[in-house]
Structure 1
Amino acid sequence: MHPRINGSTRIYGLIGTPLKSAKSPMLLNKLFAEAQADAVCIPLEVGTGGLVEFVRGMRAVNNLSGLLVTMPHKQSMLDLVDDLHPTSLQIGAINVIRCDKDGRWVGAVFDGLGCVLGMQRQGVTLLGKSVLLVGAGGAGRAIAFAVAAAGARSLIISDLDQHRAQDLAQCVAKQGSCAVHAGPADPTGHDIVINATPLGMNPDDPMPIDAENLIPTTVVVDIITRPEPTALLLEAQSRGCQTLDGQPMHVGQALLALSFLGFEDIERRYWSGL
């Protein structure tokens, strides 16, 4: 049970739309309760047209300590904060904002690092591996940088928008020694396949990759978080692949966000309790 909310409770919000299936408030409030932190996370449904007005109003709330940011505001929020963490400068998006006591809002993004952390905690290393990433949108962009930084040998980025995939590949290739290129959504020859597209959220969605080319040694990660496995994960499991759904990434990015917001003790407590 969450501690009683009082006048000193620190408030954190999740902003975006729609939020009906959002799991972050439930996860954060569970972690707050376990740590007996005087804090609460609440969903705040804000449409695209209301974002500027929302930010203007919320800057007057003195006990607002931070915001989690989801679609469709991850890029729009860049122009509405005061400072950008290096992650947001690199990726061009925000998924968490720390509201400092001096009134300054600092934006960061932990989608990619959270995905890598979640994989590592499930025993999946990226070091020296060949990776296929499908999807070069907001989440895919963050994951691409994080995968390369985690020591992947090569990274192929596939997207329906080939120009977007090529642009992302060129940006990531400048960051280090990982060989990064745009290419087809074909898992042949890859150690790890990551689906960072929305394909799989609905039952009639097409498969994001050519699953017939999966082999048992391939690890398949689908960042979609839903109660039942996606069609991609079911197909991969039937072929003997190790699979990960979106939950490890969700937990990983939430814990990194909490650390950024000043709750390093919650992150340590969580991992030490596993």
Structure 2
Amino acid sequence: MQSHISGTTRLYGLVGDPLSSAKSPQLLNRLFLEQRADAACVPFWVEADNLSAFVSGARAMGNLSGMLVTMPHKQRMLAFVDELDSTAREVGALNVIRCEPDGRWVGAISDGIGCVLGMQWEGNHPANKSVLLVGAGGAGRAIAFAVAYAGASKLTISDVDEHRARDLAASVAAETGRAVRSGPSDPDGFEVVINATPLGMKASDAMPVDPERLAPGTIVVDIINAAEPTPLLRAAQARGCRTQDGGPMHQGQALYALRFLGFDYRPEGRAGVDVGAT
């Protein structure tokens, strides 16, 4: 915990419900210590029904400089910011807010850029590859835009809600000019498969794709950040696929979010990557 908190300390928060497994406060406070910044990050446990009341109080704090936003507030918080960067406008959600000195709150989302950065770091860049994205929810929506902007030659979006997948595919195609469509979750014929669903967080979960349909050499990315490989990744490894867990994406998210907040964060071993924060 910070040992230098004083009356001049700038506050950063993590807003969500629940926060029992949150790691962002430790990451930010370690960074603040390393950079000798007069700043501290604290968790703000806010239930959905109390979000409006929380924002009213937070707006009155003159020393609040920014917030990370997690579930279930990524979309609800849109109504309480003054400005959105291009990522948040396209995706329709945010997970980081910069509180400007003039009182304006500016929102962005790091999920999609974080995923692509993580893939790039691991040598799994989606450029010029055919990509199957399973999951068109909050994270999946952000990843769809980022993968298309990164130059995927073909992007297919699959979701249990076919209407949601179709609407997202149309939006991404219109915004990016890339070849994007919705379709089934059959991984056969794709060079990259990304699981952006919660499937795999529990041992009893169904597989997001049929691993028997994965060709050896396929890049399989599961954004779930767990201590052990998910069942999908284990099955993909057994098929001779290249696999990537949620760790690199988490690092990429942190890099983008912290740059957006004005901090020079460089994950260990991840030098040489430049992401501009608006």
TM-score range, shorter chain: over 0.9
What SS does structure 1 have at the residue aligned with 2:175? coil
Corresponding position of 2:38 = 38
In the TM superposition, residue 270 of structure 1 has moved relative to its aligned partner by: 7.2
Kept after mapping to 2: 8 A contact 1:259/1:267: no
CA distance in 2, matches of 1:35, 1:255: 15
TM-score (norm 2): 0.93
- 1:23-172 superposed matches below 5 A: 23-172=23-172
In the TM superposition, residue 216 of structure 1 has moved relative to its aligned partner by: 2.0
Corresponding position of 2:203 = 203
| Residues 207-250 of structure 1 deviation map (CA, whole Å, 9 limit, x = unaligned) | 11111111221111111111111111111111121111111111
What SS does structure 2 have at the residue aligned with 1:181? strand
TM-aligned CA distance change 1:101 to 1:269, over 3 Å? farther
Give the stretch that moved more between structures: 151-160 or 25-34: 25-34
TM-aligned CA distance change 1:48 to 1:268, over 3 Å? closer
Give the stretch that moved more between structures: 168-177 or 103-112: 168-177
Corresponding position of 1:266 = 265
In the TM superposition, residue 2 of structure 1 has moved relative to its aligned partner by: 4.6
Kept after mapping to 1: 8 A contact 2:169/2:181: yes
In the TM superposition, residue 3 of structure 1 has moved relative to its aligned partner by: 5.1
Kept after mapping to 2: 8 A contact 1:201/1:230: yes
CA distance in 2, matches of 1:29, 1:241: 37
CA distance in 2, matches of 1:54, 1:210: 43
What SS does structure 2 have at the residue aligned with 1:20? coil
In the TM superposition, residue 62 of structure 1 has moved relative to its aligned partner by: 1.1
CA distance in 1, matches of 2:22, 2:93: 19
Equivalent AA in structure 2 for residue 162 of structure 1: E
**How many residue pairs are counted as aligned between the two chains?**
273
Indicate the percent of aligned positions where both proteins have the same amino acid.
62
What SS does structure 1 have at the residue aligned with 2:18? coil
Corresponding position of 2:180 = 180
Kept after mapping to 2: 8 A contact 1:258/1:267: no
What SS does structure 1 have at the residue aligned with 2:127? coil
Kept after mapping to 2: 8 A contact 1:187/1:214: yes
TM-score (norm 1): 0.95
In the TM superposition, residue 8 of structure 1 has moved relative to its aligned partner by: 1.9
Equivalent AA in structure 2 for residue 33 of structure 1: L
Equivalent AA in structure 2 for residue 272 of structure 1: A
CA distance in 2, matches of 1:250, 1:268: 10
| Residues 144-172 of structure 1 deviation map (CA, whole Å, 9 limit, x = unaligned) | 00000000000110000000000000001
RMSD: 1.7
In the TM superposition, residue 186 of structure 1 has moved relative to its aligned partner by: 1.1
Corresponding position of 1:235 = 235
CA distance in 1, matches of 2:154, 2:82: 35
Equivalent AA in structure 2 for residue 78 of structure 1: L
Equivalent AA in structure 2 for residue 10 of structure 1: R
CA distance in 2, matches of 1:2, 1:262: 19
CA distance in 1, matches of 2:103, 2:30: 28
Kept after mapping to 1: 8 A contact 2:91/2:142: yes
Give the stretch that moved more between structures: 12-21 or 48-57: 12-21
What SS does structure 2 have at the residue aligned with 1:236? helix
Structure 2's unaligned 5+ residue stretches are 274-278
Structure 1's unaligned 5+ residue stretches are none
Kept after mapping to 1: 8 A contact 2:18/2:45: yes
What SS does structure 2 have at the residue aligned with 1:112? helix
